[in-house]
Copies of this chain bind each other. A is one copy, B any other.
Amino acid sequence: MANDWAAFGSDLHLELRGTRLRAGLRDALREAVRSGRLEAGTRLPSSRSLAVDLGMARNTVADAYAELVAEGWLTARQGSGTRVARRAAPRPPAPSLPKLSASPEQGRPPSPPSGAGRTAALVHNLQSGTPDLASFPRADWLKAYRRALTDAPNEAFGYGDPRGRPELRTALAEYLARARGVHARPERIVICAGFVHGLRLIGEVLRARGVRDVAVESYGLWLHDDLLRRAGLGTPALGFDERGTRTEELAGLDGCGAVLMTAAHQYPLGGALPPDRRAAAVDWAHASGGFVLEDDYDGEFRYDRQPVGALQGLDPDRVVYFGTASKSMAPGLRLAWMVLPQELAQEVATARGAVDRTSSVPDQLAFAEFLRSGAYDRHVRAMRLRYRRRRDQLVAAVAAHSPETRVSGIAAGLHAVLALPPGTEQATLRAAAWRGLAVQGLDRFRRPTVPPTLDGLVVGYATPPDSGWQGALRALCGVLP
């Protein structure tokens, strides 16, 4: 009871992977007892409630408990529940925990420069890039899926249009126009399996058209850079200042055929590109025949101000718009979309058709139904409230514990940036890892050619489930200056 189960328990699910759910839970619990993180006498939640919390079958949890009771780590008594056993004898060393499963959006992957070396106790996860997976709207999704599958014409189960199902493209065109100011006609939309997938298709098409370089922002995901380079493209980085990405530099870049931007909410720094720089990007594309690749990864989440509409509306013939359900719903759905200029639509559809044809048809039809029925709007509204509350709690907690720390990029999205005193980022990351907190430093997102001038933490406040959020926040505050 002395122990803070609520803050600790549910983060366990981050350490569990694969089929070995029961074994993973058992090992994680054993390690928590062995290390003293769960003190003797602590009462564990009922197997039913932990199962709900972890999204596991109740039997899985009950079996893991039973095994640990049999091994002497836990005790179970009628009427008193399951508790951590009083230590009687020295424990044998437990097997090491499975590692935290990696998200593809963690930044530069090979041997991260941060202090993430100590991974055994990463019980708090504030890495950005993943929404709260516990909030996936299972019941509503299932309802849409059932309806879509029941109503689908037989031909829907065949090899279909590589652009995707017309039902979904029609529903998206309506939604994107309404919610993001995107000028989208269904025939210019191509459904894909995620932003990275779409970027890869575009990269191939641009390369085949003879494009040499695609400019990128000073800060962004290593993965995107890497992908473009694998497609044979150069990736010069545009400069960055307090007003955002210096799109005016595009005019001076020879051989640059496109620019990849997060105009509405720079990733990860968090600002919205000011109007003159939005115009500069589109004007450059218009004058040079180039394209703006607009990664609108979290366009659904705006808090304090009028949403910044998509750049695409400024010039649908020169902007490729990318949206995704990975942040608003869940990455596991593998549903994203591109709105393409007329001149690229056919080439991208052909490229898609030659690789994996199209995305799961029942999922596409279900998502169309989810959009049409209003369930998507309801879900996004609910998540916006939840994430906004978390953001407010983050800002308040930082203000209370570390008033000198500036929090930025908070008007939108699922992450914030906490500025650190120059030269302290690596030490802060090491301290975080020591406290079991997985979080990323800005340096991970810096393009190799950009000088390291900013120290800061990128805090993904959407990532933990509700029950793990307060603990994660406390761990974060504990490492701030």
Contacts and interface: CB of A to CB of B under 8 A. Distances in A.
Given A138-B149, A150-B138, A194 B155 contact: no
A114 interface: no
Interface in A337-395: 353-363
B154 A136 contact: yes
A353 B104 contact: yes
Interface string A128-149: 0110011010100110011001
B330 A358 contact: no
A357 B196 contact: yes
A3 interface: no
Contacts of A158: 101, 103, 130, 133, 330-332
A192 B133 contact: no
A155 B103 CA distance: 11
A453 B201 CA distance: 39
Interface stretch (A13-21, A209-217, A309-317): A13-21
A186 B18 CA distance: 11
Q: Assembly of this chain: how many copies?
A: 2
Nearest to A21: B153
A19 B101 CA distance: 40
B153 A194 contact: no
Contacts of A362: 141, 145, 332-333, 363
Contacts of A86: none
B334 A155 contact: no
Contacts of A130: 158-159
A360 B359 contact: yes
Contacts of A186: 19
A45 to B, nearest CB: 16
A154 B353 contact: no
Nearest to A155: B13
Interface string A100-128: 01111100000000000000000000000
A334 to B, nearest CB: 5
Q: Which interface residue of A129, A134, A334 has the most chain B CB atoms within 10 A?
A: A334
B166 A18 contact: yes
Interface stretch (A54-62, A275-283, A430-438): A54-62
A197 B153 CA distance: 25
Given A16-B153, A136-B157, A193 B330 contact: no
9 contacts: A16-B153, A19-B166, A102-B159, A130-B158, A133-B155, A142-B149, A159-B332, A197-B356, A226-B354
